[in-house]
Structure 1
Amino acid sequence: MMANVGGLDRVLRIVAGLALLSVVVWGDPSWRWYGLIGIVPLATGLLRWCPAYTLLGVRTCPMRQR
């Protein structure tokens, strides 16, 4: 599993994931379950790997020099 999520993309994913997860704690009871969607961007940001990017051939992280 090679990293395909870069710096700014990674930070935005983590922030968005935490924001969505905050809905679980502080949100309206009817919307709380939607906050669990935040697990996906949080996980992809922390792991630096996005399966959708792999399928689409997208990379936002810089290529390593060999």
Structure 2
Amino acid sequence: MSLLQNLPKNVGAMDRNIRLAAAGVLILAGLMTGNVVLDIIGLIVLATGFISFCPAYTLFKIDTTKKD
């Protein structure tokens, strides 16, 4: 768990809330339709929202956190 704590945060609060909501929709849609791909994508989105770190954001130098 300490490895996850050392990751730099690049997902802000609003972005995180959107990710968590979208993950719920994707996972539910995957479960209802039997589409495993939607479930996997939903779990990835859920994980990135939960740990507030997105590897794709690092590649594109995006940071939605507010720096004071």
- TM category (shorter chain) comes to 0.7 to 0.9
TM-score (norm 2): 0.79
> Which structure has the larger Rg over C-alpha atoms?
1
Task: Indicate the SS of the match to 1:43.
Answer: helix
Counting matched residue pairs gives 61
TM-score (norm 1): 0.81
Gaps of 5+ in 1: none
Residue in 1 that maps onto 2:53: 49
Larger helix share, 1 or 2: 2
Root-mean-square deviation (CA), in Å? 1.3
Sequence identity percentage: 34
Gaps of 5+ in 2: 1-6
